[in-house]
Amino acid sequence: MLGNKVRVACQKRKAVMTFQMQERMYNEQRQALFAIALRDTLLRPQITRNQFQPLLTGSLTQTAHKLGPDYDSENIAKLESIYETVDDIEGIVGGHLEKPKPGAKVGPTFFCIIVKQFLRVRRCDRFFFEHQEAGFTNAQLKEIRKTTLAGFICENGNAVEKMQTYAFKTPVTSPVAGDAPDDLIITLPTGSKVQGHILKSFEGNDFQAFENIPYAEAPVGKNRLKALPVYLWIYGGSFNVGYGTLYNPKFLIDYDIIIVTINYRLGVLGFLTTNDDNIPANLGLKDQLLALQWVHDNIIAFGGDPNQVTIGGESAGSISVGFHWLNKQARGLFTGIIQQSGSPLSSFLSKQGSREIAFEYGRQLNNSFNSSKSSDLLVTLQEASLSDILKLQKNVDVDSDLFKQRAKFYDENPKEIPNEALNIAEENKEHVGAALRKHYTNSSFEEDALALIQYTSDEVFGRSVGRQADAASRYVPVYMYQLSWYNKSNQFPGVEHTADLHYFWDFTPQEASHNDTLRKPLFKWWTNFIKYG
């Protein structure tokens, strides 16, 4: 969800916000009873809290016979021992005994009075304009326009005696007026001239001073605000688990980029398919595409540049990024991609057996289901509860055939990616497998766990990533990285899958100093790519 993770430094929301502030503080309909009057009214001993509340909020918050959640049980007991009814409680007493609002030191009554007083101070001068409309009259504006803010500060303060005028005024292009010596007029390479003057140092020595030199265009018009580059993150999790808010961007947000994380359908809801129109494939990827389109259409409202969007992801998220790069429907929605440990060419990605898996779900949901029609399966799935469908993800055996994959071969030109893996004759499989194993170990994978890890890394990640980068480099610049600095607390040597996530996102660090050492250069590389390509 965009709302989860869009972070802009200036968009801070006050932690303390009450109903009274939301509903009464900022309406334009003025009441005769203002902040000072409210305070003085409450301090009158004869006014009760329930008489005062409607003046403050417009309605009673307490019933006639019991106090609401603004009081704890101990204070309620004290009030009950003194007052016969709720209507008898004095306003000043009731206000003091209220529970503090979250993030505040006072309860809603005093909190509301304080906020009202601050609000009046912010809108206008309390003493002169307390009992009239907050806006200035034409006569008042006429007087105000006779001075400047700079003049007001200089005339009434002790620290500032003068202010720079016309800070962004363009330098003159002809010799400046005045009788300044030639050595006090400097001609800039652009042809503009600036004039200096003589000042005295603390010891009484003369020195030349050149002040108020404009060096930039005024921050108006097109220079007023510049949209920031956008980094859209797609999380991984084997297309089965994950959520966008897991990835806290507090590290990356300091590098002047806007970060967006999204959610998409996972598991059965996002990737179950019968390979036909009844239950189409990859609904989760279509969710991602819709999110990309939404960001392109709306990110400008959040200060982002829709023409400078980089999408990134890790594992299944990285695979998703690769698919969007290949998808013509996503053209124009982003300008760059960052893939971390995942490629759409990965060997374990296959639609083989997906239809059979879908029908197995149907049989698990309904013991009497024995149809081979995908339309009947769709009805069964639609009639099942969401909880039952999600439970099936743990029960149905989806064999990715990960460790049974045989050797894959390039053709003669390794830059040409074959559409299908080369078939291996049955009688040659044993020889190919032995040669493959010998490449990694002199024993067996069962005896050499490290060799198995290396083989799996190459088969699932390394080979596919290399093939994709090789193919893409024919059309666009490609930069590859390999993370080799591993956490010594790992059981096995080497860098585990997802290890780089700990550098970019606010996860609990396993080795803080280790992470900090690499974090800044990694951030610089990543954000420079996001900003400049």
> In the numeric block, which tokens belong to residue 357?
């898996």
Greatest mean pLDDT among 49-63, 108-122, 297-311, 403-417: 297-311
Statement: the pTM of the whole predicted model exceeds 0.75: no
Q: pLDDT at position 77, please?
A: 83
Query: What is the reported pLDDT for 310?
Result: 94
Query: pLDDT-derived band of residue 74, with 50, 70 and 90 as boundaries?
Result: confident
Q: How far is CA 105 from CA 19, 51, 62, 67, 101, in A?
A: 17, 23, 21, 20, 7
Average pLDDT estimate for 466-481: 85
Cα–Cα distance for residue pair 209/200, rounded to 1 Å: 10
CA 74/CA 161 separation, integer angstroms: 58
Chain position carrying tokens 């009639």? 383
138 pLDDT band, cuts 50/70/90, is confident
3-state secondary structure 230-286: EEEEECCCCCCCCCHHHCCCCCHHHHCCEEEECCCCCHHHHHCCCCCCCCCCCHHHH
Confidence label for 147 from pLDDT (cuts 50, 70 and 90): confident
* Helix, strand or coil, per DSSP, at residue 531: helix
Across residues 137-164, what is the average pLDDT? 72
Cα dihedral sign for 121, 124, 125, 130? negative
Task: Inform me whether the pLDDT recorded for 174 exceeds 60.
Answer: no
Are 24 and 66 a contacting pair, CB within 8 Å?
A: no
**pLDDT attached to residue 478:** 86
* Average pLDDT value for residue range 281-301: 88
The answer to whether residue 44 scores a pLDDT higher than 70 is no
Give pLDDT, residue 309.
Answer: 94
CB neighbours of 259 closer than 8 A, spacing ≥ 6? Answer: 5, 6, 7, 230, 231, 232, 233, 249, 252, 253
Distance of alpha carbon 528 from alpha carbon 516, whole angstroms: 19
**Structure tokens, 409:** 């071969």
Residue ranges of domains in the chain: 9-135, 169-215
Helix (H) / strand (E) element for 440: namely: helix 429-440
